[in-house]
Structure 1
Amino acid sequence: MNDFNDFNNPQVARLPKHLRQYIVDQHYEKYTPVDQAVWRYVMRQNYSYLKHVAYYPYIKGLQRAGLSIEYIPDLQTMNDNLGKIGWGAVTVDGFIPPAAFMEYQAYRVLVIAADIRQINHIEYTPAPDIIHESAGHAPIIADTDYNNYLSYFGSIGAKAMFSAKDFELYEAIRHLSILKEATDAPEHEIAKAEQQLAHISENMGEPSEMALLGRLHWWTVEYGLIGTLEDPKIYGAGLLSSIGESASCMKPEVKKLWYNLDTVNYTYDITKPQPQLFVTPTFQNLIDVLEAFADTMAFRRGGSEGIMKAIACKNPATAVYSSGLQVTGVFSDMGLDTDDQLTFIKTHGPSALALRGKQLESHGKHYHKDGFSSPVGRLKGSEKPLEDMDDTELRALGIERNGVASLEFESGIRVQGLVLDLLRDAGKTVLITFKDCTVKESNGNILFQPDWGLYDMAVGARIVSVFNGAADKEAYEEITYVSGKQTHKVVYDEKTLQLHNIYTQVRRIREQGEGYEALADLFAELKAQFRDDWLAALEIMEILYHKQINPDLEKEVRIYLELKAAAEPELSKLINDGLHVIKNPVTQLINEEED
């Protein structure tokens, strides 16, 4: 991706290659006149209602993020504005892996799905879309306490351990969301994907760190309330971008509970309105709860508990020795003594060694292609950990170049061989390389023998941290760039283009303040050719009402819409809400707030 566009935004420019691979071009030209009208409808509805229940001045937040009510945001404009408050934005293709999503947050970059919901999903879509990501998340970014929480959450979330089931769940959710937003997906395919997702969801087992963090993210970033239990305000993006649930969530039947560490025990269902919501008194409380949860995580606790989580993950993870050496790979085994303390760790398949997040030369996944195994612990009878011994103490054990060493660990593991090399870092011995080496457990079980080649022994009395993914992501991960040339070139049939033309003309008349006489013909065309459409008729009604022209046509359009609302229950709320905003214009409300 040599033509990577950083939008002249420092935060975007800092993104590493393994995150850049998810970025796709926005392709602003793909948004149709109907898409633009959908954006405008949702934003007008949002502002009309959210001025009462949003935590912060919604319109000021939109403006600071480079968003308008009238048009789908352009990524360059958003980056120009977000850059002023130390954030950036990129567009991606739908759901991306949760760990990557978290890491973007840590880099202070908003991830925005490039697509916009179809008109038949205008109230809510399970798929990420530009309305949810930009109109929901971006306006509150200007709040310093909140954006500090968001980036800190990202840095914690990027280290969270997955279970293998989490990966299955992510793939199932992504698959279903793509099908649901596709215009031509067969119903049986959607039903099959829903069954698959339900089956995985019901058989998740014990929730992983990432699953528990996902709950905290959901009840704060997506569905959070702030203030008091009696009079909370919305700051969660899921609520702010859902014109249905932002209203229904304030009803008394939706329980309001204080947000604390116990919130992690509440599961959620993305397909249904939430039965309860959590209220935080301040954004600082969000950071305090996150900090308390982080203290329970493997990246802070390490030990056998952390390695067990890594084994359950079945995907690359990193264990950090107390010497600072980082071992990345798919963990497959470990040894425990009678006190449940680690005696050795083992990976299988491509593995790598690193220090401070940088892969060691000649210790990448091609060199350790079949896995890595090493003892953990102290030497028997030694008061000082091996990693802390000075040159004299090491020589006494035969640990010097071309020395012959015979080491016995407290666990009973014995390592014997010729020392070829040793690596020291920041005053600690971190790695010893042996030739003609034998490694045995106390019961005689062989862990390594001379004809297997050189033996690299990690040095460290303890495993102090275990976290998701590679220590050096750039060196370890395969960067498989997602093509910037996604299927953005949609070919519309003649009739759809005719409808697009009606929307374009209505917008031009509204914005230029001329050509009102064409509205009667446009409405007649809508009635004759596009009986399913309601939004263009609403926009025509808006112009007639505000300009007070052609009262007979205005009456005809209003009756048409009212009959449609009565005959088609699924459109009833959308049309009535649209009529309400016409009579209570948003521009007037914007001016009031700006004053």
Structure 2
Amino acid sequence: MSHFNDFNNAQVAKLPNHLKQFIVAQNYEKYTPIDQAVWRYVMRQNYSYLKNVAYYPYIKGLQRAGLSIEYIPDLQTMNDNLGKIGWGAVTVDGFIPPAAFMEYQAYRVLVIAADIRQINHIEYTPAPDIIHESAGHAPIIADTDYNNYLSYFGSIGAKAMFSANDFELYEAIRKLSILKEASDADDAQIAKAERELKFISENMGEPSEMALLGRLHWWTVEYGLIGTLENPKIYGAGLLSSIGESASCMQKEVKKLWYTIDTINYQYDITKTQPQLFVTPTFQNLIDVLESFADTMAFRRGGTESIMKAIACKNIATAVYSSGLQISGVFTDVGVDANDELTFIKTTGPSALALNGKQLKNHGKDYHADGFSSPVGRLKNSLKPLEDYNDNELKAAGIELNKQVLLVFESGISIDALTQKILKTDDKVILITFTNCTVSESNGNILFKPEWGNYDMAVGAKIVSVFNGAADKEAFEIIAPISIEKTHKVVYDDKTIKLHELYKQVRAVRETNMGFEKLSNIFGQLKTQYRQDWLCALELLELVFHKKIFHQLEKEILVYLEIKAGKEPEHTKLILDGLHVIKNPVSQLIGD
């Protein structure tokens, strides 16, 4: 990753390779003049409306995050500003896997989709875009309590177990969102992708930890309200970046409930407006609810149910023995006694052993290429767990280098072998390597034969934690499967390129305060050649209205837009909202 651009930002520089792989260049020059106008329109709408309903720091927060109303933000400027509050930002291609998204948050890096919504999805986009990510998430990052919640959520989310179904669901959502945003999408393809998504989401089974955390994330980070039930303020990015829903969500029809641990029982549908929203009295309450959910998760509970979650996940997970030894791999089997206690665990395929997140020398996935299996529990008639034995106690149990020993566990599993190596760390025995080894269950079933080579036995009375992913991700190099579905790139025809040119001219007049005589000619071209466009005409009206010039032209444009608003239902609200902001200028809100 020698070409990696860290934007001179400390948080971005710290990102590990398995997260860097998702980063794409922003390519600022690809944004067209229409894209810039879409950004400006949405931001002015947000300002005009949000000053009354957004949680206080929204407007100041925008400036602290390096965002302006006038331009799509440039990543370097954002990083320069976010760096001052201990955060960073990178651009990615659309949806990335939930676990990776969470881990970025834990590293205090905002993930921003590099693309911007098309003008025909200006109110709401099915795909993540730069308006949502930067105008929604970035402004509130300056609030310390909130940004602590966000990074803490990330560190817990990164450990969450997901199910094999979750991954299918993520791929189906990503595919559909890309199709919906593509300019050349075919309705039959979209309908097929919608059917696939519906089928997967209706057959999800028990929600996984990641699915439940996803709900908490949705009802807070994306759709959260703060304050009182009667008069809440918006802090969720999904609401802050949707001009449609930020207005409708305050109406009586949308129920307001207190945000508690029970919120995990509310599913959500990303394609519809929300029937209810949750209000938190403080950001600290968000951390408290998250904390009580984390107490139910496998990484804190361990035991049989947590290994079962790992088996259901069908992806790499890590189990931690009470000795501290960490086993990473795809878990496929487990032994359980009459009291539901674990007797052994087993992975299949490349596996690795680690301690405190660092891989043990010579115990990487090449050495354990065919999986790993070990007993869990105590030796029969022992006074303490094997991991706590001192040298004398090991000797008394017959565990001495180069001596044959017979070990029998409480579970009935027995090991008859020659002790070759004893690995201790911090006064804990964590791993014993045997040769000439036979491992069998009490019913005589053979688990390991001498001719299979050395047998590495993990030591630990219990499995105390199970979490998603490998313990040492850099060594394990699970460069996650990057989705093959890439966001479609747009190619513009000559007519559209000419329209871009008109938008560019309008911006130049506004920014230089010169060339007003061109406006009438631009309007002439819009009227005759670009009847479907409404935004450029609004920008023309804004200029002549505020300069109090060309009254005749002002009247013509206004009539043109009013007729358009009456005739084109899909543009009615957009045009009326645009007229409202022209008559109630934004500049007074931010005091330029």
Using structure 1 for the length normalisation, give the TM-score: 0.98
What's the counterpart of residue 183 of structure 1?
A: 183
Gaps of 5+ in 1: none
2:542 maps to 1:542? yes
Q: Note the C-alpha offset of 1:287.
A: 0.3
Mapped to 2, the partners of 1:343 and 1:40 lie a distance apart of: 62
Q: Note the C-alpha offset of 1:384.
A: 1.1
What's the counterpart of residue 264 of structure 2?
A: 264
2:444 maps to 1:444? yes
What's the counterpart of residue 418 of structure 1?
A: 418
Amino acid at match of 2:439: V
What's the counterpart of residue 361 of structure 1?
A: 361
Amino acid at match of 2:566: A
2:27 maps to 1:2? no
What's the counterpart of residue 53 of structure 2?
A: 53
Mapped to 1, the partners of 2:21 and 2:207 lie a distance apart of: 29
Q: Note the C-alpha offset of 1:565.
A: 0.9
What's the counterpart of residue 110 of structure 1?
A: 110
**Kept in 2: contact 1:30–1:488 (CA 8 A):** no
Amino acid at match of 1:524: G
Mapped to 2, the partners of 1:266 and 1:491 lie a distance apart of: 41
**Kept in 2: contact 1:227–1:281 (CA 8 A):** yes
Which residues in structure 2 correspond to 1:198-209 (within 5 Å)?
Answer: 198-209=198-209
Mapped to 2, the partners of 1:221 and 1:65 lie a distance apart of: 17
SS state at 1:398 partner: coil
What's the counterpart of residue 141 of structure 1?
A: 141
What's the counterpart of residue 388 of structure 1?
A: 388
What's the counterpart of residue 581 of structure 2?
A: 581
**Kept in 2: contact 1:23–1:482 (CA 8 A):** no
Deviation string, structure 1 residues 94-148 (Cα, Å, up to 9, x no partner): 0000000000000000000000000000000111100000000000000000000
Mapped to 2, the partners of 1:482 and 1:301 lie a distance apart of: 31
Tell which deviates more after alignment, 418-427 or 225-234.
Answer: 418-427
Amino acid at match of 2:28: Y
**Kept in 1: contact 2:183–2:490 (CA 8 A):** no
Q: Note the C-alpha offset of 1:397.
A: 2.2
What's the counterpart of residue 322 of structure 2?
A: 322
Mapped to 1, the partners of 2:368 and 2:47 lie a distance apart of: 57
SS state at 1:244 partner: helix
Q: Note the C-alpha offset of 1:263.
A: 0.3
**Kept in 2: contact 1:406–1:417 (CA 8 A):** yes
Q: Note the C-alpha offset of 1:488.
A: 9.2
**Kept in 1: contact 2:227–2:233 (CA 8 A):** yes
Mapped to 2, the partners of 1:357 and 1:194 lie a distance apart of: 40
Which residues in structure 2 correspond to 1:5-154 (within 5 Å)?
Answer: 5-154=5-154
**Kept in 2: contact 1:385–1:460 (CA 8 A):** yes
Q: Note the C-alpha offset of 1:491.
A: 4.2
**Kept in 2: contact 1:61–1:139 (CA 8 A):** yes
Deviation string, structure 1 residues 175-195 (Cα, Å, up to 9, x no partner): 111111111111111111111
Amino acid at match of 2:298: A
Tell which deviates more after alignment, 51-60 or 299-308.
Answer: 51-60
**Kept in 1: contact 2:107–2:151 (CA 8 A):** yes
Which residues in structure 2 correspond to 1:102-501 (within 5 Å)?
Answer: 102-479=102-479, 491-501=491-501
Amino acid at match of 2:577: D
Q: Note the C-alpha offset of 1:489.
A: 7.5
Tell which deviates more after alignment, 470-479 or 378-387.
Answer: 470-479
Mapped to 1, the partners of 2:400 and 2:70 lie a distance apart of: 72
SS state at 1:273 partner: coil
Q: Note the C-alpha offset of 1:589.
A: 1.3
Amino acid at match of 1:251: Q
Mapped to 1, the partners of 2:367 and 2:179 lie a distance apart of: 41
SS state at 2:243 partner: coil
SS state at 2:257 partner: strand
Q: Note the C-alpha offset of 1:529.
A: 1.0
**Kept in 2: contact 1:40–1:71 (CA 8 A):** yes
Amino acid at match of 2:359: Q
Q: Note the C-alpha offset of 1:568.
A: 0.8
Amino acid at match of 2:224: G
Mapped to 1, the partners of 2:459 and 2:487 lie a distance apart of: 51
Runs of 4+ in 1 over 4 A off after TM superposition: 480-483, 486-491
Mapped to 2, the partners of 1:107 and 1:409 lie a distance apart of: 42
Tell which deviates more after alignment, 141-150 or 415-424.
Answer: 415-424
Mapped to 1, the partners of 2:505 and 2:487 lie a distance apart of: 27
SS state at 2:564 partner: helix
SS state at 2:407 partner: strand
Deviation string, structure 1 residues 53-96 (Cα, Å, up to 9, x no partner): 00123221100000000000000000000000000000000000
Mapped to 2, the partners of 1:56 and 1:108 lie a distance apart of: 22
Mapped to 2, the partners of 1:368 and 1:318 lie a distance apart of: 14
Q: Note the C-alpha offset of 1:399.
A: 1.7
Q: Note the C-alpha offset of 1:404.
A: 1.4
What's the counterpart of residue 565 of structure 1?
A: 565
Mapped to 2, the partners of 1:518 and 1:57 lie a distance apart of: 40
SS state at 2:169 partner: helix
**Kept in 2: contact 1:226–1:280 (CA 8 A):** yes
Aligned length in residues: 590
The share of aligned pairs that are identical, in percent, is 78
SS state at 1:278 partner: strand
SS state at 2:438 partner: strand
Mapped to 2, the partners of 1:369 and 1:405 lie a distance apart of: 27
Q: Note the C-alpha offset of 1:340.
A: 0.4
Distance 1:173 1:498, change over 3 A: same
Gaps of 5+ in 2: none
**Kept in 2: contact 1:419–1:434 (CA 8 A):** yes
Amino acid at match of 1:346: K
SS state at 1:549 partner: coil
Tell which deviates more after alignment, 58-67 or 487-496.
Answer: 487-496
**Kept in 1: contact 2:299–2:466 (CA 8 A):** yes
Amino acid at match of 1:527: K
Q: Note the C-alpha offset of 1:419.
A: 1.1
Amino acid at match of 1:450: P
Mapped to 2, the partners of 1:513 and 1:362 lie a distance apart of: 69
Mapped to 2, the partners of 1:452 and 1:20 lie a distance apart of: 39
Q: Note the C-alpha offset of 1:480.
A: 7.1
Mapped to 1, the partners of 2:418 and 2:219 lie a distance apart of: 57
Mapped to 2, the partners of 1:482 and 1:69 lie a distance apart of: 33
What's the counterpart of residue 503 of structure 1?
A: 503
Mapped to 2, the partners of 1:581 and 1:529 lie a distance apart of: 26
**Kept in 2: contact 1:58–1:139 (CA 8 A):** yes
Q: Note the C-alpha offset of 1:359.
A: 0.8
**Kept in 2: contact 1:257–1:277 (CA 8 A):** yes
Mapped to 2, the partners of 1:551 and 1:482 lie a distance apart of: 56
